[in-house]
Structure 1
């Protein structure tokens, strides 16, 4: 049986608004090996975010679940992402969260630290099967040595390239190497394009690239106790490393603003982009006719042999601490995460399935297969995920991005940007 004590807590994700949640006591974990009585008739509420397409997939999954567990009635509801979390905030204040929830990583610490989520450890290896989930995957749902979420799907940081643009420029694919090598390659592509496009964007505007370099040095962006794993000098070094590239080699910020809401990459104005590997399908769709494939390779290397990459959850499933039916809820979570039926029904709608049993049953399109192959190719660089995002992480991620745009515009200096970021960080970490 998987032990939460052996696994480090986990990883950074995108934006999250700070929530003020009323802590509430949860049901106590069962003693011994819990199991669900299939003859017990129970009703569970299931909440997820998405659209009509995902809702139909969940309905299919519930129908398949009821073929095996006919006595568990599942009432499912869905909202858009912002509305989903507004609803959860209201419910959390009143102590009435749904039994089972699709969950975003950026809220895991906020809800778990307020006693709103059930400790899943007693169910791991019994009701919730763990054979198809690696220790890295299981560690993603751990906060302060306690398992609160099970990852449904994963992604990893990668480097996308546009083969069609590179062929136009007459430049070969980036063959890997250091960040300096990547800068040189960007400059080569930009020059070869004759002004038609650029080799890449200013990667120093993304906090994930800074995190990647810190992890290669054995540091976290933010430690488990909420303290930063870097100082002003290290952030200054990172932002200064992009100074030459910002002088005409990467996509100018004015062009970035004009292309918004598309990026330079899916507007065919940038030949490469560092981002999460599940963005590929969207990029291809936006690029449109004439662009049939993308390159997907590992990011530049800061230190050879470092475990700088990690798997991040596209989403997780959690259980309310106040559920009256924890065994039945855990049974539903196991089905939605692990079952071949769920893998076949959802495919990659929720991301690349984290469970081997679900993944084997999923029908992968060309881009999804490329992501699967990519994540297998970086196995030697995958390390334990960093601590679950601090409360207020989304605010700091956005501040980092805004300061990155100002650096690219040339409207602020590196020293001023560092000063502003640390001032913002002081407020967030001490609120």
Structure 2
């Protein structure tokens, strides 16, 4: 019960922050069976019918393409139906935690790097290794490094759904009209000077990850060789975090940072309501959005008619040191499934089928399967060709390994970060106070885990 409540709170805290196994374990979360192939196959034999569920977070483009791919699988496999359950990021983890607590986690779930460790340790995901060993799940065209991101304590609990990288989207049309260019690998000083220039010429302000700051903080601190989480403590010192918060205080003081009140009127984390594409005037809109490379398609679709969206690296004190490639998200099998074998076959279809990927078209990122990526490349529209170019030519030559998955307590730390950010942006804290409040509070959280 203690673990179950801990996981449920993890989901609730994830919503508040708006944000990504070998050996035997005894779960206090649920009475989930051991996730061996034999027990799951036995359970499948008792199943009444062939109905599966799959849950994911995303935008309208992802929703439509994913459901179409699932419908194609059902068409090819009479007797199987797959119910798609999709949410925006702000709701997804709360719903997933609630279903996990009720022993009804969906058969197939979209999983994030931020939470995989917690779900594995609570016995909520199926170990896919037996299905890989018997070739039900083909990973022969996925690199060892990519497979490692879904591996926990010797078990394989997640398969990469796409490869991407942090990317700053921007209103290229607006900037072109005003003779402003954006280069890759902007330092913080260069980024802030660009923000001043854009504000002076156009009136458009800048949005720097309000309410979902955790990923950007992690990226930013890599420039200082600080890994965000240590062993039951935070990396760095409280002074290490001052430069991150100073960006916000300078932007507010100089007028180019978007007012935090704008975010009270929109759904934070929604592509369609991001200030770069949604708003009534330059004063409530941003010229840029901190996103991921695989979101270019959705942001371009959400942008006002006639606006072309550009893409570059996130600004950092040392942007080449900060950069990394990551699994945009994963596909996993929920431990409560009554038909693990069929669920794995669906997963294999999404990862390895040419027909499925001709529908999905890399919306979740560059396909993990090198074979599928090579097949899709010439079929891609210009937007997806740009995503591939960005990954291959901009990020790959100047990236380093991603930091380890966040440990227990990370969701609470990120919730604290967003609370501190809010206080800072409303003027209650200066940068030094914000850094101290965050660092001390985060260390207290981690020391209790």
Tell me: CA distance 1:336–1:410, structure 2 relative to 1, closer, same or farther (3 Å): same
> Which aligned pairs between 1:49-198 and structure 2 lie closer than 5 A?
49=56, 53=64, 54-64=66-76, 66=77, 74-81=80-87, 88-89=96-97, 92-93=100-101, 95=103, 97-124=105-132, 126-174=135-183, 176-193=185-202, 196-198=203-205
Q: Please, which of 310, 315, 323 is the counterpart of residue 300 of structure 1?
A: 315
Tell me which residue corresponds to 1:210.
Answer: 217
Task: Supply the RMSD in Å over aligned alpha carbons.
Answer: 3.7
User: Given that residues 328 and 364 in structure 2 are in contact (C-alpha distance below 8 angstroms), is that contact kept between their aligned partners in structure 1?
Assistant: no
Tell me which residue corresponds to 2:34.
Answer: 26
Q: Which moved more, 1:333-342 or 1:243-252?
A: 243-252
Query: Is 2:316 aligned against 1:310?
Result: no
Tell me which residue corresponds to 2:270.
Answer: none
Q: Which moved more, 1:87-96 or 1:114-123?
A: 87-96
User: Given that residues 203 and 209 in structure 1 are in contact (C-alpha distance below 8 angstroms), is that contact kept between their aligned partners in structure 2?
Assistant: yes
Greater helix share, 1 or 2? 2
Query: Gapped runs of 5+ residues in structure 1?
Result: 1-13, 31-41
Tell me which residue corresponds to 1:4.
Answer: none
Q: Secondary structure of 1:16's match?
A: helix
> Which aligned pairs between 1:372-387 and structure 2 lie closer than 5 A?
372-377=388-393, 378-387=395-404
Q: Please, which of 220, 223, 230 is the counterpart of residue 227 of structure 2?
A: 220
Tell me: CA distance 1:192–1:109, structure 2 relative to 1, closer, same or farther (3 Å): same
CA distance in 1, matches of 2:80, 2:274: 40
Give the deviation of 1:149 after TM superposition. 0.5
Q: Secondary structure of 1:341's match?
A: helix
Q: Secondary structure of 1:371's match?
A: helix
1:233-272 CA-to-partner distances (Å, cap 9, x unmatched) read 2112322355433322532315634773433322463323
Tell me which residue corresponds to 1:39.
Answer: none
CA distance in 2, matches of 1:22, 1:176: 46
- Number of aligned residues: 397
Tell me which residue corresponds to 1:239.
Answer: 245
Q: Please, which of 264, 271, 274 is the counterpart of residue 263 of structure 1?
A: 274
Tell me: CA distance 1:74–1:184, structure 2 relative to 1, closer, same or farther (3 Å): same
Give the deviation of 1:323 after TM superposition. 5.6
Tell me: CA distance 1:394–1:278, structure 2 relative to 1, closer, same or farther (3 Å): farther
1:87-115 CA-to-partner distances (Å, cap 9, x unmatched) read 65455446554544343444422221012
Q: Secondary structure of 1:222's match?
A: coil
Q: Secondary structure of 1:265's match?
A: coil
Query: Gapped runs of 5+ residues in structure 2?
Result: 1-11, 17-27, 39-48, 268-272
Q: Secondary structure of 1:63's match?
A: helix
Give the deviation of 1:163 after TM superposition. 1.9
CA distance in 2, matches of 1:47, 1:349: 17
Q: Please, which of 14, 17, 21 is the counterpart of residue 16 of structure 1?
A: 14
User: Given that residues 362 and 384 in structure 2 are in contact (C-alpha distance below 8 angstroms), is that contact kept between their aligned partners in structure 1?
Assistant: yes
Q: Secondary structure of 2:84's match?
A: strand
Give the deviation of 1:321 after TM superposition. 4.4
CA distance in 2, matches of 1:254, 1:270: 12
CA distance in 2, matches of 1:84, 1:105: 14
CA distance in 1, matches of 2:122, 2:370: 32
CA distance in 2, matches of 1:226, 1:149: 25
CA distance in 2, matches of 1:138, 1:320: 19
Tell me: CA distance 1:234–1:144, structure 2 relative to 1, closer, same or farther (3 Å): farther
Tell me: CA distance 1:313–1:348, structure 2 relative to 1, closer, same or farther (3 Å): same
Give the deviation of 1:379 after TM superposition. 0.5
CA distance in 2, matches of 1:181, 1:26: 53
CA distance in 1, matches of 2:301, 2:265: 16
User: Given that residues 15 and 106 in structure 1 are in contact (C-alpha distance below 8 angstroms), is that contact kept between their aligned partners in structure 2?
Assistant: no
Q: Secondary structure of 1:187's match?
A: helix
Tell me: CA distance 1:78–1:386, structure 2 relative to 1, closer, same or farther (3 Å): same
